[in-house]
């Protein structure tokens, strides 16, 4: 799933996203209306950023009992060493809670966020990510080395930090000043 993301920090590189809850809803709705198949299209140089979403799509299409949280847990185990799997899964849930897909939805249409416990900021998630060790031999073929995927997650978290800073920064002019481009500036 790609919503035309261009990056909060002004970069054009598309960092990793996660939309497992929306993919699950889409496939569940397709089953409910009687669709007998769905197709996922993923190609190009940025395919690796959608690794979790592609995996989730396949799992949900194949297994109607699969859940978003369970699929994230499975995928985290392909990327991180066993001791770090739960930590990465929680970070991936945090990323999904702050995906541009989630945040671009009207609030009344958003799916409920995952519980991420005390992981309440991108800065905290970045700190936690520093303790995650990638698998050198993943249990499943990934489109890029696990360490590269973790770096994409790091970039995504940095992007969320940039968005938070941008949204909380004061405007560049005060009420008594005139914005740039006005006759009195």
Provide the token pair at 2: 């790609």
Between these two residues, 89 and 171, which has the higher pLDDT value? 89
Per-residue model confidence (pLDDT) at position 173: 39
Residue 181: inside a domain? no
End-to-end alpha carbon distance in the chain: 43
Q: How far is CA 130 from CA 84, 87, 88, in A?
A: 11, 10, 10
* Mean pLDDT value of segment 57-67: 95
Mean pLDDT of 58-69: 96
What integer pLDDT is reported at residue 12 of this predicted model?
54
pLDDT confidence tier of residue 170, bands split at 50, 70 and 90? very low
Does residue 149 sit within a domain? yes
Asked whether residue 125 is domain-assigned, the answer is yes
Q: Which residue has the higher pLDDT, 173 or 118?
A: 118
When the pLDDT of each residue in the chain is averaged and rounded to a whole number, the result is 83
3-state secondary structure of 120: coil
Q: Say if 183 falls within a structural domain.
A: no
Q: Helices 146-168 and 68-79 meet at what angle, rounded to 10?
A: 120
Q: Is residue 91 packed enough to be buried (19+ CB in 10 Å), middle (13-18) or exposed (0-12)?
A: buried
Q: Decide if 131 contacts 87 (C-beta within 8 A).
A: yes
CA dist., res. 91 & res. 3, Å (int) = 21
Indicate whether 121 pLDDT > 70.
Answer: yes
Q: How many structural domains compose the chain?
A: 1
Q: Average pLDDT for residues 28-32, to the nearest whole number? A: 95
Q: What is the pLDDT of residue 50?
A: 86
Question: The dihedral of CA 5, 98, 121, 72: what is its sign?
Answer: negative
- Residue 55, domain member (yes or no): yes
- Between the alpha carbon of residue 2 and those of residues 29, 141, 185, the distances in Å are 19, 22, 40
Question: Considering the domain boundaries, does residue 7 fall inside one?
Answer: no
185: tokens are 């500036």
In a domain, 11, yes or no: no
* pLDDT at position 100: 80
Query: Closest Cα to residue 52, out of 97, 19, 25?
Result: 19
Rounded mean pLDDT of 95-116? 91
DSSP β-bridge partners for residue 134:
80
* In a domain? residue 90: yes
Q: Taking 90 as the threshold, does the pLDDT of residue 92 lie above it? A: yes
Residue 96 domain boundaries = 20-166
Tokens read off for 80 = 């991180």
Q: What is the rounded distance in angstroms from the CA atom of residue 170 to the CA atom of residue 159? A: 19
Average pLDDT over residues 140-161: 92
């Amino acid at each position: 799933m790609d919503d035309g993301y261009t990056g909060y920090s002004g970069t054009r590189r598309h960092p990793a996203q996660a939309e497992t809850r929306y993919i699950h809803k889409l496939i569940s709705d397709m089953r409910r209306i009687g669709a007998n198949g769905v197709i996922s299209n993923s190609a190009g140089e940025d395919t690796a950023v959608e690794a979790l979403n592609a995996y989730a799509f396949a799992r949900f299409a194949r297994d109607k009992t699969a859940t978003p949280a369970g699929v994230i847990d499975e995928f985290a185990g392909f990327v991180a060493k066993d001791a770090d799997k739960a930590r990465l899964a929680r970070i991936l849930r945090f990323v999904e809670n702050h995906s541009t897909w989630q945040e671009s939805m009207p609030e009344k249409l958003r799916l409920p966020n995952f519980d991420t416990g005390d992981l309440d900021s991108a800065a905290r998630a970045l700190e936690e990510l520093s303790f995650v060790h990638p698998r050198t031999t993943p249990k499943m073929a990934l489109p890029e080395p696990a360490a590269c995927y973790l770096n994409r997650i790091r970039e995504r978290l940095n992007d969320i930090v940039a968005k938070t800073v941008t949204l909380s920064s004061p405007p560049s002019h005060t009420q008594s000043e005139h914005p740039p481009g006005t006759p009195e500036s």
